[in-house]
Amino acid sequence: MNEPLPLLPLTLKDVSFEAGGKRLIKDLNCCFEAGPRTVIIGPNGAGKSLFLKLCHGLVPPLEGQITWNDSNEISSRFKQAMVFQRPIMLRRSVSANIHYPLKLRGILKRDRISLTEEALSRAGLGRLREHPARVLSVGEQQKLALARAWALKPQVLFLDEPTASLDPAATHAVEELIDAIHKQGAKVIMTTHDLSQAKRIADEILFLFRGRLLERAPVERFFRQPENDLAQAFVKGELLWWRLGKANRKNQRKRDGDK
């Protein structure tokens, strides 16, 4: 038998995306290798969610290429998982929600059952296994989404603000699950608005602003001394939209010209 093809690296080349006549992602170039946890930050509407969906293949880019090392569409999809800000649960029991994607992957029933049990107990959802998933609280659903992702043993896990609207305890539980999935060998790429969470989780930071990737740096350096002044302002909490007047946009254009 030949070695299973690794999914990573993921390469984005000159990627842009447009909707409603607006350019929402602009000339994005970057590459993701296996290993370090990547956290994407940036103000509301910067295009973070869109960026994740482009990478995950849920929306096609208008221009440019997004390529995985494993170029087979089906097998590369099966090696990824994504947790949405508001996960959608099927109108079935908690455990059936984990079974479903395992079945799509053609995993045997015996293995499905053991994977599901393991995932549920990891997420602390064991006692809810027969509950209808839709009646769980938001936090429980988020944990279930993580448990589902864990059971899939993905090589890459995308997370879109996984702890927005969770209480501190649930946030902690979700962060531990993310850590467990990372330790299992998954590359984590996530977005968050919680900068202290970014510091806790990230190995590297991507700063996205108005559809552009303005900075990419190791977490330490990013928070100590971001090179980009918009990133600097954002980290200090000074990047306020009502101050983003013409001046800043002119600066931005100048910077783009310098490159």
Ligand X SMILES: Nc1ncnc2c1ncn2[C@@H]1O[C@H](COP(=O)(O)OP(=O)(O)OP(=O)(O)O)[C@@H](O)[C@H]1O
**Footprint (CB under 8 A) of another protein, residues 60-99:** 74, 77-78, 80-82, 84, 87-88, 90-92
Confirm or reject binding of residue 162 to another protein (CB under 8 A): no
List 5, 19, 135, 240, residue binding another protein (CB under 8 A) = 135
- For another protein, which is the closer residue by CB, 20 or 257? 20
- For another protein, which is the closer residue by CB, 51 or 78? 78
Distance, in Å, from the CA atom of 165 to the CA atom of 145, rounded to the nearest integer, reads 15
- For ligand X, which is the closer residue by CB, 78 or 234? 234
The one of another protein, Mg ion, ligand X, none whose footprint includes residue 87, by CB under 5 to 8 A per kind, is another protein
CB of 143 to Mg ion, least distance (A): 20
**Footprint (CB under 6 A) of ligand X, residues 48-77:** 48-50
Q: Cis (ω within 30 of 0) for the bond into 87?
A: no
List 19, 31, 88, 240, residue binding ligand X (CB under 6 A) = 19
The one of Mg ion, another protein, ligand X, none whose footprint includes residue 90, by CB under 5 to 8 A per kind, is another protein
Q: What is the 3-state secondary structure (H, E, C) of the chain?
A: CCCCCCCCCEEEEEEEEEECCEEEEEEEEEEECCCCCEEEECCCCCCHHHHHHHHHCCCCCCEEEEEECCCCHHHHHHCEEEECCCCCCCCCEHHHHHHHHHHHCCCCHHHHHHHHHHHHHHCCCHHHCCCEHHHCCHHHHHHHHHHHHHHCCCCEEEEECCCCCCCHHHHHHHHHHHHHHHHCCCEEEEECCCHHHHHHHCCEEEEEECCEEEEEEEHHHHHHCCCCHHHHHHHCCCCCHHHCCHHHHHHHHHHHHHC
- For ligand X, which is the closer residue by CB, 18 or 179? 18
List 49, 69, 75, 93, residue binding Mg ion (CB under 5 A) = 49
Confirm or reject binding of residue 221 to another protein (CB under 8 A): no
CB of 121 to Mg ion, least distance (A): 31
- For another protein, which is the closer residue by CB, 78 or 234? 78
Residues in Cβ contact with 59 at an 8 Å cutoff, skipping those fewer than 6 apart: 17, 50, 53
Distance, in Å, from the CA atom of 230 to the CA atom of 238, rounded to the nearest integer, reads 9
Contact indicator for 216, 206 with CB cutoff of 8 Å = yes
The one of another protein, ligand X, Mg ion, none whose footprint includes residue 50, by CB under 5 to 8 A per kind, is ligand X
Segment near Mg ion (CB under 5 A); pick from 1-9, 43-51, 54-62, 95-103? 43-51
- For ligand X, which is the closer residue by CB, 2 or 44? 44
Residues at the interface with ligand X (CB under 6 A): 19-20, 24, 42, 44-50
Binding site for Mg ion (CB under 5 A): 49
